[in-house]
């Protein structure tokens, strides 16, 4: 005997709970892939839109978190292909023109410059390094949470994190990036 | 004594704490604020609305066919009795049980005699023998 589908309100409530729990990590993984906040947001929203449609179809999802992360990764890769078609080998950021805006305080300008350099350095790093750094410092995930998400053990997390930090520090030094102003 | 310019290295990240602080501040600046709501369609979904049309086109056709058949049957039941009353007078069912005794009926012309009633729509020579056989109490179209 098949169970009755849940009412619309219950489905909506379940969806909102899943969004609250997992939207940030979906965003973080998409950001680690593209180092672009807007792109990461689009990918995250699309992933949850697909989740909503899946829930509407009444097909059960055994592990929504794993489903979301898999969809987000696939969307991020699809975005890579479409971006290559649109922009060639240039990353999307270089295609943006200079935006006219009110002059910022000096400290803000220095901060933005530091962040721009940091982003540029991270774009040169491997996807795995960016991913583990994003999970640790964007989401403040502990070792156990990162291990569960990446399906590796805690020792591997410590090792990868340590090496990623070391590589980043070396590249920043080579680029002359100092402390925060 | 010559002056020697001392080369001063630019400030660098002295400790991992500095790097961690930089990374945290960087990601905090990148994350959307406030955190956006999910971009899903409105609350009322297509699945919640009553279906306005049947899913299978053949179902529509069969329903129309049934409705047309019932309408034709109904119209026929209205039109047919009037046609019968125009073409022929209703005949008593002779010799049928429960019918009136012939002896008390007004004298009628024999069956083979030509009718002289000018209101009789039947053609000359047409008599009841040529009328279609009918079951007792049953009209033809009800068979």
Do A63 and A119 belong together in one domain?
no
Identify which of B13, B30, B32 has the shortest CB distance to residue A179.
B13
Q: Is the dihedral of CA A114, A119, A124, A127 positive or negative?
A: positive
Q: Report angle CA B126, B128, B134 to the nearest 5 degrees.
A: 130
CA angle A32, A34, A37 (to 5 degrees): 85
Q: Which residue has the tokens 């030094």?
A: A173
Q: How far apart are alpha carbons A53 and B41 in whole angstroms?
A: 10
Closest CA to B19 of A173, A23, A28: A173
Is the residue at A55 inside a domain?
A: yes
Spatial distance between the Cα atoms of B108 and B113, rounded to a whole number of angstroms: 10
Find, among A88, A23, A102, A168, the residue nearest to B26 by Cα: A168
- Indicate which CATH number applies to the domain containing A154: 1.10.10.10
Q: What pLDDT was estimated at residue A11?
A: 85
Segments forming the whole domain that contains residue B76: 56-82
B window 57-116, beta carbon within 8 A of A: none
Look at residue A87 and tell me if it is in a domain. Answer: yes
On whether residue B73 sits in a domain, the answer given is: yes
Distance from CA of A77 to the nearest CA of B (A): 21
Residue A15 lies in a domain: yes
Write the burial class of residue B83 (CB in 10 Å: 0-12 exposed, 13-18 middle, 19+ buried): exposed
- A112 in the same domain as A84: no
Distance from CA of B22 to the nearest CA of A (A): 7
Please determine, for residue B107, whether its predicted confidence score (pLDDT) is greater than 70.
no
Give the C-alpha separation, B143 to B134, whole Å. Answer: 10
Q: In whole angstroms, give the CA distance from residue A164 to residue A136.
A: 11
Q: How many domains is chain A built from?
A: 2
On chain B, the residues whose CB falls within 8 A of the CB of A118 are: 22-23, 26
| CB < 8 Å from B in window 113-132 of A | 114-115, 118-119
**pLDDT tens digit string along A67-77?**
999 999 999 99
A116 and A44 assigned to the same domain: no
Domain annotation covers residue B61: yes
Judged by CB atoms within 8 Å, which residues 26-55 of A form the interface with B?
27, 31, 37, 41, 45, 48-49, 52
Given A44, A67, A91, the domain boundary residue is A91
Rounded CA-CA distance A45/B48 in Å is 23
> Are A115 and A75 within one domain?
no
* Residue A64, token pair as written in the block: 């929504």
Same domain membership, residue A166 and residue A135 = yes
The answer to whether residue B68 is domain-embedded is: yes
Residues A81 and A113 in one domain: no
Please report whether residue B96 resides in a domain.
no
Residue A42 tokens read as 């689009």
**Does B45 lie at the interface with A, CB-CB under 8 angstroms?**
yes
- Distance to chain A for B11, nearest Cα, Å: 5
Mean pLDDT, residues A51-71 taken together: 90
Residues A11 and A58 in one domain: yes
Pick from B105, B114, B23, B49: which is nearest to A56 by CA? B49
More confident residue, B91 or A145: A145
Interface residue of A50, A107, A112, A115 to substitute, partner B, most B CBs within 10 Å: A115
More confident residue, A84 or B143: A84
Residues B92/B100, Cβ–Cβ less than 8 Å: yes
Q: Are A8 and B23 inside 8 Å of each other by CB?
A: no
d(CA A53, CA B133): 69
Q: Is residue A99 part of a domain?
A: no
> Within a domain: residue B49?
no
Average pLDDT rounded to a whole number, residues A98-106: 62
The answer to whether the Cβ–Cβ distance between B13 and A24 falls below 8 Å is no
Placement of tokens 């994350």 in the chain: B31
Q: Chain A residue with minimal CA distance to B12?
A: A178
- CATH for A22: 1.10.1740.10
Q: Is the pLDDT of residue A158 over 60?
A: yes
Domain that holds residue A67: 7-91
Q: Which residues of B114-125 are buried (b: 16+ CB within 10 A; e: fewer)?
A: eeeeeeeeeeee
Distance of alpha carbon B39 from alpha carbon A176, whole angstroms: 41
Domains in chain B, number = 1
Q: List, for residues A109-128, the tens digit of each pLDDT value.
A: 888 889 999 999 999 999 99
pTM for this predicted structure:
0.59
């Amino acid at each position: 005997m098949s169970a009755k589908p849940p009412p619309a309100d219950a489905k909506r409530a379940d969806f909102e709970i899943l969004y609250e729990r997992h939207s940030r990590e979906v965003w973080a993984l998409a950001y680690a892939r593209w180092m672009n906040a807007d792109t990461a947001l689009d990918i995250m929203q699309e992933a949850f839109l697909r989740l909503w449609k899946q829930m509407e179809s009444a097909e059960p999802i055994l592990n929504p978190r794993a489903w979301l992360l898999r969809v987000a990764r696939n969307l991020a890769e699809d975005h890579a292909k479409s971006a290559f078609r649109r922009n060639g080998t240039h990353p999307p950021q270089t295609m943006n023109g200079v935006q006219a805006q009110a002059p910022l305080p000096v400290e803000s300008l220095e901060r933005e410059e530091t962040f721009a350099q940091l982003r540029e350095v991270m774009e040169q790093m491997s996807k795995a390094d960016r991913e583990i750094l994003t999970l640790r410092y964007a989401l403040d995930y502990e070792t156990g949470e990162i291990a569960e998400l990446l399906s590796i053990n805690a020792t591997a997390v410590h090792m990868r994190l340590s090496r990623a930090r070391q590589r980043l520090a070396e590249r920043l030094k080579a680029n002359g990036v100092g402390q925060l102003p | 004594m010559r002056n020697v310019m001392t080369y001063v290295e630019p400030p660098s990240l002295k400790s991992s704490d500095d790097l961690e602080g930089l990374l945290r501040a960087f990601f905090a600046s990148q994350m959307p604020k406030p955190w956006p709501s999910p971009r899903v369609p409105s609350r009322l979904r297509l699945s919640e609305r009553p279906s306005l049309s049947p899913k299978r086109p053949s179902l529509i056709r069969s329903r129309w066919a049934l409705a047309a058949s019932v309408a034709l049957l109904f119209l026929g039941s209205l039109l047919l009795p009037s046609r019968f009353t125009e073409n022929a007078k209703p005949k008593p069912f002779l010799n049928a049980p429960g019918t009136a005794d012939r002896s008390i009926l007004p004298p009628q012309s024999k069956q083979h005699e030509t009718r002289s009633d000018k209101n009789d729509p039947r053609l000359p020579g047409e008599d009841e023998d040529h009328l279609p056989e009918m079951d007792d109490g049953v009209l033809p179209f009800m068979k």
